[in-house]
Structure 1
Amino acid sequence: MIHQYQLNGYNIVLDTYSGSVHVVDDLAYKIIELYEHISPKEILTLMQEQHKHDSDITEHDIRETIAAIMELVEDGQLFTKDEYENLSMDLKNRKTYVKALCLNVAHTCNLSCDYCFASQGKYNGDRAIMSFEVGQRAIDFLLENSGHHRNLDIDFFGGEPLMAWKTVKQIVAYARSKEQEHKKNFRFTFTTNGMLLSDEITEFLNKEMYNVVLSLDGRKEVHDRLRTTANGKGSYEHIVPKFQEFVQKRGDQEYYVRGTYTGNNVDFTNDIFHIADLGFDKISMEPVICDPRETYALTDDDLPEIYNQYEILATEMIKRGEQDKGFTFYHYMLDLSEGPCIQKRITGCGSGTEYLAVTPWGELFPCHQFVGDEEYSMGNIWDGITKPELQCQLKQSNCYSKPECKDCWAKLYCSGGCPANSLHATGSINGTYDFSCDVFRKRVECSMMVKVAESMREMESDAQS
């Protein structure tokens, strides 16, 4: 399976199963389009007819191009056959170990964001703060169920996890005390709205957290429209200086400024550029997932402009990179030379198998987006997984288990999509959320184009040196 598209002056051809990306001229692009449908002899005749008045393309050129394409096919870089479907069956039966927990340390928040999937941090339940005893047991549960995994990940999440600051520090200290004994390495991630950031908190986060995610939606009017305090006041002016100071002190350690775009700001590249101009160079911007009846919901009617925005983003990133003013966009981080192993590309995030969310009461869910849905309560940190059949369903959900993914060229980049988004959009973890698929495919196209442009620039630079 191949995917061809033209963007920013490049003719790009992706071979799905080998992962090879080719940048070709117009003649090769046309021939590749025809290659599986007619014979090389018929292609030669057709191209000669089409270019009989074009002195720049000779019969020799056409023959050479056809030969080059045939060589790529023989080398397994074009029209590669799918050899992974049987592997997906094997992966369903594999034994999995837990390597990451999302600790919902705070089912409460000091903001009242309209679009919050967690219902302003309460997850449609009672407000709560995780006790150290529950956090301690969560660490023990992870150690007991981590198997061969040496690197273990803990995400501190909420609500707003800074509202459980004492518990966070105690959990980190306890986990660190167990590393040497169990020969494990803990990596912590922290997501915050920034309202409670202080010098003491900043120092601790920069010492202990492998990654920190800072929530900011972009321009002041955009951010303050939906990310407000309980009394309806915007939070932009309060958090931006805190975030700037935090990142300055963080140095070269990992962080992301993460925003959400909605139907209110389909021109979301202006928010991304605003964030970059504030001095942040690691940025993520996600489409809102919400009830389609909400006034700020994104719809299929927005897709043409969303596609346009991702193209604007890609070309601006190339421009800023050439000016040494570049920034990283999370969804354009695509490693074309190595990237994730094929098992990861088939199975995805591992929610419910390798990754679990823990509530303040110690209840287990496949991930934070399932929390509060009792149908997807999997057990608890004392008794373990009490619904192995649910875990089995999640393990079997991948890009080969969904009929809609069969002919999708991007399936090995999305692994079949987010099970939680599928559930909320279709009522099934094995459903496909078409809107999300459309957005994802566009992001992959744009990210590949950015990588192509960067590679071409490097080649030109090497040739000149």
Structure 2
Amino acid sequence: MIHRYKLGGMNIVLDICSGSVHLVDEVAYDMIGLFETESREAITAAMLEKYGDREDVTEADINECYEQIEELRDAGKLFTPDTFEPMAGALKAKSANVVKALCLHVAHTCNLNCSYCFASQGKYHGDRALMSFEVGKQALDFLLEHSGTRHNLEVDFFGGEPLMNFDVVKQLVAYARSREKECGKHFRFTLTTNGVLIDDDVIDFANREMSNVVLSLDGRKEVHDRYRVDYAGNGSWDRIVPKFQKLVKARGNKAYYMRGTFTHANPDFLKDIQQMLDLGFTELSMEPVVCAPGDPSALTDEDRVIVMEQYEKLAELMLERRRAGKPFTFYHYMIDLTGGPCIYKRISGCGSGTEYMAVTPWGDLYPCHQFVGDEKFRLGDVWTGVTNTEIQADFASCNVYAHPECRDCWARLYCSGGCAANAYHATGSVRGVYKEGCELFKKRMECAIMLEASKALDNNA
């Protein structure tokens, strides 16, 4: 299977199963599109009819191009068959009962009142609560006990707003560090924060202990303050931006990213990206809102047309700035064409419910943060482990080939079947497909591949 598209002034052909990316001229682009369905004679005739008036396209040139396409096919770089499906279940079975990451909900409460919040202002449709050190410690022990031979373990401090329970965050990090040597493990921590409670102590601690920091900013002040308000209705932009700037400056080269959400209010999100750049931030992400169709913040069909254009314009801006020596990173355009995720990751997905779980303030286990609060997805708890094996089995069997709609999709080995939570909320099944999200994802992949291809061209120029 192949995928052909034109972007950034290039004719791009992606061979799905080998991962090969080919930049070709117009003639080769058209011939590759006909190669699997038409005879050599029919292809030659079609090319002569279309390009026959050009002096640089002769019948000999067309024949040579056809033979080059055949060589690429025979070398496994074009029209490569999909041989991965038989591996899907076996590869996932190898990691059964091995947990590599936890999302610790240290605070089911928040100091902001964002109306589009999937977590119901941090409460997850339940009671407000803070995780105790004892529950968090047991969660870390659960991770250590179930991590098998994995050396690197991931822990995200999440909420609500985790800085509302900052003392427990510090205690849990200290406890984890105290166990690393004896257990032969290394913890990598991430903190996600809205920034309101950032101070010098938070900055020093985060830059010392956090492998990554995720900072919530929706971009332009008027966009950000539309939804990200406190309980008095006041916007938070003026309070948090100077704190974010101070943290990032002190952070040096350590990882961070600004995480924004675009909604019906700002499908023209490139202006928000530009605002973040103007503020000095270079590690950026903008996520489409996921909410009920009738929600005022939900993207409309008209919005999605704008968003598609914005993704292309964003890629053009990234290309322009890179060539000018002022690059920046967009999370969804991070792709490695020379290596990238192993085939296990490509066909098995994110590992929610098996390798990755969320932990509530009370120690309950859920497949991921987006399922927290939905009792039928409760897996167990950090003391007894996973007891709801039926639900876990659903997630364990949920690979890219478990989605019938994915079988003929060119992007399947990049999205790995997509987000189980988005699929469930859109269709009622973790094996469903969130079609609106799929279309946005495919556009992002086209842009990401174009950017990497252009980088290779620039490096070889």
TM (norm. structure 1) is 0.98
Q: CA deviation at 1:95?
A: 4.0
Residue 182 (structure 1) aligned with residue 183 (structure 2): yes
Matches within 5 A, 1:134-173: 134-173=135-174
Paired residue type of 2:261: T
Aligned to 1:338: 339
Cα separation, 1, equivalents of 2:52 and 2:173: 72
Q: Is the 8 A contact 2:267 2:304 kept in 1?
A: no
Q: CA deviation at 1:264?
A: 0.4
Q: CA deviation at 1:323?
A: 1.1
Q: Is the 8 A contact 1:162 1:192 kept in 2?
A: yes
Aligned to 1:58: 58
Aligned to 1:17: 17
Residue 363 (structure 1) aligned with residue 364 (structure 2): yes
Other structure's SS at 1:335 match:
coil
Q: Is the 8 A contact 2:190 2:212 kept in 1?
A: yes
Identity of aligned residues (%): 57
Q: What CA deviation, in whole Å up to 9, does each residue of 1:147-178 have, x standing for no partner?
A: 01110000000000000001000000000000
Aligned to 2:86: 86
Aligned to 2:34: 34
| Closer/same/farther in 2, CA of residues 188 and 92 from structure 1, 3 Å limit | closer
Aligned to 2:391: 390
Other structure's SS at 1:191 match:
strand
Cα separation, 1, equivalents of 2:74 and 2:59: 23
Q: CA deviation at 1:302?
A: 2.0
Q: What CA deviation, in whole Å up to 9, does each residue of 1:400-431 have, x standing for no partner?
A: 00111010000000010100011111111111
Q: CA deviation at 1:301?
A: 2.8
Cα separation, 2, equivalents of 1:395 and 1:89: 8
Matches within 5 A, 1:177-326: 177-326=178-327
Aligned to 1:417: 418
Q: Is the 8 A contact 2:95 2:355 kept in 1?
A: no
Matches within 5 A, 1:430-445: 430-445=431-446
Cα separation, 1, equivalents of 2:240 and 2:403: 42
Cα separation, 2, equivalents of 1:258 and 1:233: 20
Q: CA deviation at 1:28?
A: 0.2
Cα separation, 2, equivalents of 1:190 and 1:155: 6
Paired residue type of 2:207: N
Other structure's SS at 1:162 match:
helix
Which stretches of structure 1, 4 residues or longer, exceed 6 Å deviation after superposition?
A: none
Q: What CA deviation, in whole Å up to 9, does each residue of 1:284-318 have, x standing for no partner?
A: 10000011111111123322211100000000000
Aligned to 1:463: none
Q: Is the 8 A contact 2:92 2:344 kept in 1?
A: no
Q: Is the 8 A contact 1:300 1:435 kept in 2?
A: no
Q: What CA deviation, in whole Å up to 9, does each residue of 1:186-223 have, x standing for no partner?
A: 00000000000000110000000000000000000000
Paired residue type of 1:72: L
Cα separation, 2, equivalents of 1:146 and 1:39: 54
Matches within 5 A, 1:438-457: 438-457=439-458
Cα separation, 2, equivalents of 1:95 and 1:194: 36
Cα separation, 2, equivalents of 1:277 and 1:454: 24
Q: Is the 8 A contact 2:20 2:78 kept in 1?
A: yes
Cα separation, 2, equivalents of 1:353 and 1:140: 17
Residue 68 (structure 1) aligned with residue 68 (structure 2): yes
Cα separation, 2, equivalents of 1:230 and 1:164: 19
Other structure's SS at 2:312 match:
helix
Q: Is the 8 A contact 1:189 1:213 kept in 2?
A: yes
Q: Is the 8 A contact 2:108 2:361 kept in 1?
A: yes
Paired residue type of 2:458: R
Paired residue type of 2:90: D
Matches within 5 A, 1:112-151: 112-151=113-152
Other structure's SS at 1:265 match:
coil
Structure 2 runs not aligned, ≥5 long:
none
Aligned to 1:350: 351
Q: CA deviation at 1:92?
A: 4.6
Q: What CA deviation, in whole Å up to 9, does each residue of 1:26-66 have, x standing for no partner?
A: 00001001000112232123222333222121112111111
Greater mean deviation of Cα atoms: 20-29 or 49-58: 49-58
Q: Is the 8 A contact 1:100 1:354 kept in 2?
A: yes
| Closer/same/farther in 2, CA of residues 423 and 292 from structure 1, 3 Å limit | same
Cα separation, 2, equivalents of 1:89 and 1:156: 31
Paired residue type of 1:407: D
TM (norm. structure 2) is 0.99
Other structure's SS at 2:401 match:
coil
Q: What CA deviation, in whole Å up to 9, does each residue of 1:339-383 have, x standing for no partner?
A: 000000111110000000000000000000000000100000000
The number of equivalent residue pairs is 460
Greater mean deviation of Cα atoms: 210-219 or 393-402: 393-402
Other structure's SS at 2:371 match:
coil
Paired residue type of 1:152: L
Cα separation, 2, equivalents of 1:455 and 1:52: 32
Q: Is the 8 A contact 1:104 1:157 kept in 2?
A: yes
Cα separation, 1, equivalents of 2:40 and 2:230: 66
Paired residue type of 1:63: N
Other structure's SS at 2:157 match:
strand
